[in-house]
Amino acid sequence: MPRRAGLAIALLPCLLAAPLCAPAPAAAAGPGAMETLGRSVLNGLATAAGAGRALSALGDTMAMQKARARVEAESKRAAPAPPPAPKPVAGDPSSMPPASAGTNGAQPKLHGAATGRLFAHVPVGGGESTAILLTGIALAPPDAPEAVQGAINAANTIVGRPYVWGGGHGSFYSNGYDCSGSVSFALFGGGLIPRPLASGELESWGAPGPGKWITVYANAGHTFAEIAGLRWDTVGDARGTGPRWHLAPTSTAGFVARHPPGY
């Protein structure tokens, strides 16, 4: 673009906003002076580049600004919302049919764990202060005391370990656990016992009767616990034997019920 044309186009914003760009003496001279200035600028535009080219350049600039604004607006669009969290449903996930690879080439219907989906379950009739079982891991209720949350979180860390007789007694940390070792590990996580206890010791531990949050059932041969509505047990089921959370209750006949004082 010729130098005179560029200068003329540069003067165009001053014409559109004359009160801001005009020199102070001209602005003080009144409307007549502004009209004279406007005619001078228009004449300059027509002489230097032609009115048509000046207006065309102005139109290109405005179109570019609109395009830039549109691109910036698109870049600021919010990311797609994450998928909704699974809603708790009543029932035992262990009752679901196992996954099958199939032998006839048909597409198998996989279990949720194999497809990456999460299943949240609560015991039938569970209230607001009942833990949620999310694909085998217990989620403490929001109103649970710190000791109860600690017991649940500790138990979660050994879910799926194998059943080993005497496991969890020589040390809280073991490759496998028996029934009393599993219960002791959960209680230790809540700061409720200082050392592992055998099932016979748990018969006289704590306070008698069921607790509000934690109840330990024990006899000479077995022990399990109910924590925030879920059963913490090592009994065998379709998933095997070892420390796990269970939704379904079990018979407490022949067991002594004890609970940590205050819980």
Same domain, 254 and 132: yes
pLDDT of residue 55: 55
**233 and 177 in one domain?**
yes
> Do 162 and 220 fall into the same domain?
yes
* Whether residue 142 sits in one domain with residue 66: no
Task: From 71, 96, 131, give the residue that closes a domain.
Answer: 71
- 146 and 59 within one domain: no
Q: How far apart are CA 143 and CA 20, in angstroms?
A: 64
What average pLDDT does range 201-207 have in this prediction?
96
Output the pLDDT for position 129: 80
- Structural domain boundaries enclosing 184: 119-259
pLDDT digits (tens, 9 = 90+) for 215-248: 999 999 999 999 999 999 999 776 678 999 999 8
Structure confidence by residue, pLDDT tens digits, 64-96: 666 666 656 655 554 455 556 555 555 554 444
Asked if pLDDT for residue 97 goes beyond 90, the answer is: no
54 shares its domain with 129: no
Q: Is residue 208 scored above 60 in pLDDT?
A: yes
On whether both 59 and 151 belong to a single domain, the answer is no
Q: Are residues 147 and 53 in the same domain?
A: no
Q: Do 48 and 143 sit in the same domain of this protein?
A: no
Please report, rounded to a whole number, the percentage of residues in the chain having pLDDT higher than 90: 45
131-160 pLDDT, tens digit per residue, is 999 989 999 999 999 999 999 999 999 999
Nearest-10 crossing angle of helices 3-16, 31-48: 150
Residue 112 has pLDDT above 60, yes or no: no
Identify whether residues 124 and 226 lie together within a single domain.
Answer: yes
If one counts the domains in the chain, the total is: 2
End-of-domain residue from the set 43, 71, 99: 71
113 pLDDT more than 60: no
Tell me, what's the pLDDT at 123? 74
Neighbours of 177 (CB within 10 A): 27
Same domain, 125 and 235: yes
DSSP codes of every residue in 46-113? HHHT-HHHHHHHHHHHHHHHHHHHHHHHHHTPPPPPPPPPPPPEES-GGGSPPP---SSSPPP---HH
Is the CB of residue 221 less than 8 Å from the CB of residue 180? no
82 inside domain? no
Same domain, 66 and 144: no
* Domain annotation covers residue 165: yes
Q: What would the mean pLDDT of 17-36 be, rounded to a whole number?
A: 48
